[in-house]
Amino acid sequence: MTTDHRQMWTDLGIDLERHDALLNALLPIYEETFLSQKNRPKSMEYFDFVVGDIHGIRVQELRQHAMNGGKVVATYCVFVPEEIVLAADAIPVGLCAGTQFSVPIAEEVLPRNTCALIKSSFGFKLGRICPYVQTSHLIVGETTCDGKKKMFEILGQYQPVYVMEVPNKKTQPSRNLWLSEVIAFKEVIEKLTGNKITEDKLARATKLVNDRRRALQRLYNTRQSRPVPISGKDALLVTQVSFYDDVDRCAQQVNAICDEVEARIAAGEGVFPTNTPRILISGSPMAIPNWKLHHLLETAGAAVVCEESCIGTRAFSELVPENGGTVEEQLRAIADRYMQIHCACFTPNDERLDDIVRLAREYQVDGVVHYNLQFCHTYANEAVKVEKSLAKEGIPLLRIETDYSDEDVGQLRTRVDAFLEMIRR
Amino acid sequence: MTTDHRQMWTDLGIDLERHDALLNALLPIYEETFLSQKNRPKSMEYFDFVVGDIHGIRVQELRQHAMNGGKVVATYCVFVPEEIVLAADAIPVGLCAGTQFSVPIAEEVLPRNTCALIKSSFGFKLGRICPYVQTSHLIVGETTCDGKKKMFEILGQYQPVYVMEVPNKKTQPSRNLWLSEVIAFKEVIEKLTGNKITEDKLARATKLVNDRRRALQRLYNTRQSRPVPISGKDALLVTQVSFYDDVDRCAQQVNAICDEVEARIAAGEGVFPTNTPRILISGSPMAIPNWKLHHLLETAGAAVVCEESCIGTRAFSELVPENGGTVEEQLRAIADRYMQIHCACFTPNDERLDDIVRLAREYQVDGVVHYNLQFCHTYANEAVKVEKSLAKEGIPLLRIETDYSDEDVGQLRTRVDAFLEMIRR
């Protein structure tokens, strides 16, 4: 696999030695985590292929697009409206990273007390080991947390970065600010691409992104069934891949899985026994290839049936209304939709507490695991409220704070085992 | 001292046992840190008295004000406009806390990976050991960092909290948001106090706060002299006290010190020998009684001659123009002034880099110590830029990351000694 693309990686300025080390480390972990699973949906083959060739064909597509004069726009957050990027015939690609491999590289520059996701992403650029960032013409950041907000300033010394301001409150003046940011972003993208964003193009892009959201909604709905027809690891992987795969193709592939797992549900089949403890994970996002907690839970005898996370329900729960209208009307609808993401960056963000309780019911979970990336202040503080809120509902909660390293795996396994034992009683 | 006020503390719901322990721990530290200094300005006596009776007379004043129907408004940040509070005949009081004593109390609720300032402040409320917070009718928070932003949500479960949204960028739409926040704050304060904020009252309050700012500017200007006429510890203490003392009285007392130290300058006198290495401290704020770094530096043979900090230059460098006008015009002038605080919450915040270099020149410093409270993401990331910026100017820099505990004092002393030795060469 790695041989075909070496010339492309060289052209992109990739540090081949480091990159080989990354891929050589990643693939055995992938095999152990995913391919060892029993009774997987056959349509996961596509996603296995995508991950198996993670820095290959998809990068080639982006590069081909760039060679044809198109632009690639990198993002780190579900607040950056992909509709606008697509409407200007540019390709959005999610850059959030989930590997310990690039963390020490980032620590040469960034404060160590930074969450692993930020360090991993930044290390990808600093270490020149991510062909996606190398292919991107513009990185779009946002102000959802202090760590990212300030990291983007440093990242801007290496590659063009534009930052969107996500407000802190949800008042009308804050919403006005966000709308003006969405409009400004449209202008930035038009300038970058040289393409005018028209009513038609924006409406088409909106439908395209909504179709992928609908496919993911459909997939997540299947996970409400008992027994659950797809593992948490596989569902997480699908969601992770949706951040950088072609939007239309991804929607089709997710729907193909849905066809298959819906048939399983009709036949009363599942991947785990019916009495398997069902877990909702809520909290910080898990960027590819961060499968640590899912793997821990599912090898300990639990099933992860939902992720209340940016790489989970927050990414697709809300659609942009497809009412058409002028570009400005559509931008307003887009701005409104994005303000419905219940991110911990907002104060207050009590809607998220409601979401967690609602999802816990809808997915018939036996317990919630609150997942907190170490040094992520916003989710760590919200965990205090989540704990109260779940206690009131009598839903068991396990609070996990961790990073991308393997150092705490033994300790986490002990805590997970104890939690599952408590649930099973 | 402690006996006179016990009834008042009891009435305020103070945990007397804990409170005794706090004061008993604080006073010997104060004596060792301050009273052991040689050749102090005589006018520091007032500030010694204020600290010696830290939870006494001033609290009594606030309480008397409250008993007369007045309101006390607690704040944690230089972004909350005191002018507005004063114009409604309420008293603003800074609550930021700088003691390790209340940190473990806060950790019972807050994430441990939170900066010591936030934990110490929150612990004061949770542990019922701060009569200032107990006397306050409203706590006003802001969104300058993730840690505080989310802590305020939890604090709101214990006492009324109102949060002002400080934007993340300095664009026109962000400034508009801030202006609307300032206007909304005025309405909140009018509602709280039942007092209408008039043109006259606002103009008078503006002048009052400016007078204190002018006094502090004057004090800091004396520190540009060589030899420096006042120790860094004493100047820091004055700035710290200015956050909770009566605004007018404080200005007078600061001016009294200025009279004295300006006479010293005229006489060529100083507190340290002329060749003492001069240090600018830049970074996270040092709330009372956080004197750790100043004490370390000045007992190691350096003089701290300036603090580029919220408890330092950022608090008073900019005045609100005293042009009068309608309430709305004055509020606009206030909003503009506060947006000139070069806080690391902004992205980008390159004006702060310029400030540091400028202050280093103006105060004739031999080196800069960048002070970072552990887990403070914004200043930790800006330190990367500060380092580059000072290296370009050939100004030596020492980066310190610490908390309120004494655990790292030995290690810090070694680093400070090495830094001063390097400077002296």
Q: Which two tokens stand for residue A122?
A: 């930044």
A302: closest CA of chain B, how far (Å): 27
| pLDDT over threshold 80, residue B42 | yes
DSSP count for chain B of H helices, then E strands: 19, 8
Strands (DSSP E) contained in B219-353 are: 278-283, 303-308
Asked whether the beta carbons of residue B153 and residue A344 sit closer than 8 angstroms, the reply is: no
Nearest to A381 among B111, B345, B378 (CB): B111
Confidence of residue B3 (pLDDT cuts 50, 70, 90): low
Nearest to B143 among A153, A168, A344 (CB): A168
pLDDT, position A4: 78
Confidence of residue A2 (pLDDT cuts 50, 70, 90): very low
Q: Which residues of B touch A174 (CB under 8 A)?
A: 165, 177
pLDDT digits (tens, 9 = 90+) for A181-205: 999 999 999 999 999 999 999 999 9
DSSP class of residue A102?
G
DSSP class of residue B100?
G
Confidence of residue B4 (pLDDT cuts 50, 70, 90): confident
Q: For testing the chain B interface, which of A144, A162, A168 should be mutated: the one with the most B CBs within 10 Å? A: A168
- Distance of alpha carbon A35 from alpha carbon A29, whole angstroms: 10
Asked whether the beta carbons of residue B150 and residue A177 sit closer than 8 angstroms, the reply is: no
What does the pLDDT average to over A5-20?
97
Q: For testing the chain A interface, which of B77, B144, B146 should be mutated: the one with the most A CBs within 10 Å? A: B146
**Looking at chain A from residue 395 to 424, which residues have their Cβ under 8 Å from any Cβ of chain B?**
401
DSSP class of residue B214?
H
SS (HEC) of chain A: CCCCCHHHHHHCCCCHHHHHHHHHHHHHHHHHHHHCCCCCCHHHHHHHHHHHCCCCHHHHHHHHHHHCCCCEEEECCCCCCHHHHHHCCCEEEECCCCCHHHHHHHCCCCCCCCCHHHHHHHHHHHCCCCHHHHHCCEEEEECCCHHHHHHHHHHCCCCCEEEECCCCCCCHHHHHHHHHHHHHHHHHHHHHHCCCCCHHHHHHHHHHHHHHHHHHHHHHHHCCCCCCCCCHHHHHHHHHHCCCCCHHHHHHHHHHHHHHHHHHHHCCCCCCCCCCCEEEEEECCCCCCCCHHHHHHHHCCCEEEEEECCCCHHHHCCCCCCCCCCHHHHHHHHHHHHCCCCCCCCCCCHHHHHHHHHHHHHCCCCEEEEEEECCCHHHHHHHHHHHHHHHHHCCCEEEEEECCCCCCHHHHHHHHHHHHHHHHC
- Within 8 A by CB and 6+ apart from B2, the residues are B20, B23
Is B171 in the A-facing interface, judged by CB distances under 8 Å?
yes
- Distance of alpha carbon B27 from alpha carbon A89, whole angstroms: 67
Asked whether the beta carbons of residue A375 and residue B380 sit closer than 8 angstroms, the reply is: no
Tell me if residue B93 falls in helix, strand or coil.
strand
Asked whether the beta carbons of residue B381 and residue A150 sit closer than 8 angstroms, the reply is: yes
Asked whether the beta carbons of residue B109 and residue A344 sit closer than 8 angstroms, the reply is: no
* DSSP string covering A36-72: T-SS--GGGHHHHHHHHTTTSHHHHHHHHHHHTT--E
Taken in order A58, A282, B145, B280, the sign of the CA dihedral is: negative
Asked whether the beta carbons of residue B152 and residue A344 sit closer than 8 angstroms, the reply is: no
Q: Which two tokens stand for residue A140?
A: 């779009």
pLDDT, position A421: 98
DSSP class of residue B343?
-
Is A114 in the B-facing interface, judged by CB distances under 8 Å?
yes
Q: Other C-beta atoms within 10 Å of B342: how many?
A: 22
pLDDT, position B2: 47
pLDDT digits (tens, 9 = 90+) for B110-162: 999 999 999 999 999 999 999 999 999 999 999 999 999 999 999 999 999 99
Helix H segments across B289-376?
292-299, 313-316, 327-338, 350-362
Asked whether the beta carbons of residue B110 and residue A384 sit closer than 8 angstroms, the reply is: yes
Is A171 in the B-facing interface, judged by CB distances under 8 Å?
yes
| pLDDT over threshold 60, residue A315 | yes
pLDDT digits (tens, 9 = 90+) for A322-371: 999 999 999 999 999 999 999 999 999 999 999 999 999 999 999 999 99
Asked whether the beta carbons of residue B174 and residue A176 sit closer than 8 angstroms, the reply is: no
- Distance of alpha carbon A134 from alpha carbon A120, whole angstroms: 15
Q: Other C-beta atoms within 10 Å of B27: how many?
A: 16
- Distance of alpha carbon B408 from alpha carbon B27, whole angstroms: 22
CA angle A152, A157, A162 (to 5 degrees): 45
pLDDT digits (tens, 9 = 90+) for B190-208: 999 999 999 999 999 999 9
Give the closest residue to B238 by CA, choosing from B223, B224, B274. Answer: B223
Is B146 in the A-facing interface, judged by CB distances under 8 Å?
yes
A27: closest CA of chain B, how far (Å): 33
| pLDDT over threshold 50, residue B261 | yes
Give the closest residue to A225 by CA, choosing from A257, A279, A265. Answer: A265
Is B145 in the A-facing interface, judged by CB distances under 8 Å?
yes
Is B347 in the A-facing interface, judged by CB distances under 8 Å?
yes
Asked whether the beta carbons of residue A377 and residue B163 sit closer than 8 angstroms, the reply is: no
Asked whether the beta carbons of residue A146 and residue B146 sit closer than 8 angstroms, the reply is: yes
Confidence of residue A162 (pLDDT cuts 50, 70, 90): very high
What does the pLDDT average to over B254-274?
98
DSSP count for chain A of H helices, then E strands: 19, 8
Confidence of residue A3 (pLDDT cuts 50, 70, 90): low
Q: For testing the chain B interface, which of A347, A378, A399 should be mutated: the one with the most B CBs within 10 Å? A: A347
| pLDDT over threshold 60, residue B1 | no
What average pLDDT does the structure give for chain A?
Answer: 97
Asked whether the beta carbons of residue B383 and residue A146 sit closer than 8 angstroms, the reply is: no
pLDDT digits (tens, 9 = 90+) for A226-275: 999 999 999 999 999 999 999 999 999 999 999 999 999 999 999 999 99
pLDDT digits (tens, 9 = 90+) for B336-352: 999 999 999 999 999 99
Q: Which residues of B touch A144 (CB under 8 A)?
A: none
pLDDT digits (tens, 9 = 90+) for A199-216: 999 999 999 999 999 999
B367: closest CA of chain A, how far (Å): 22
Percent of chain B at pLDDT exceeding 70: 99
| pLDDT over threshold 70, residue A1 | no
Q: Which run of H or E residues covers position A306?
A: strand A303-308
What average pLDDT does the structure give for chain B?
Answer: 97
pLDDT, position A297: 98
Q: Which residues of A touch B171 (CB under 8 A)?
A: 165
Q: Which two tokens stand for residue A172?
A: 């009308």
Confidence of residue B425 (pLDDT cuts 50, 70, 90): confident
What does the pLDDT average to over A277-287?
98
**Looking at chain B from residue 172 to 231, which residues have their Cβ under 8 Å from any Cβ of chain A?**
173-174, 176-177, 180-181, 184
Is A167 in the B-facing interface, judged by CB distances under 8 Å?
yes
pLDDT digits (tens, 9 = 90+) for A47-101: 999 999 999 999 999 999 999 999 999 999 999 999 999 999 999 999 999 999 9
Q: Which two tokens stand for residue B61?
A: 């004043």
Name residue B163's beta-bridge partners: B141
Report the half-sphere exposure of A267 (CA within 13 A, side-chain side).
Answer: 10
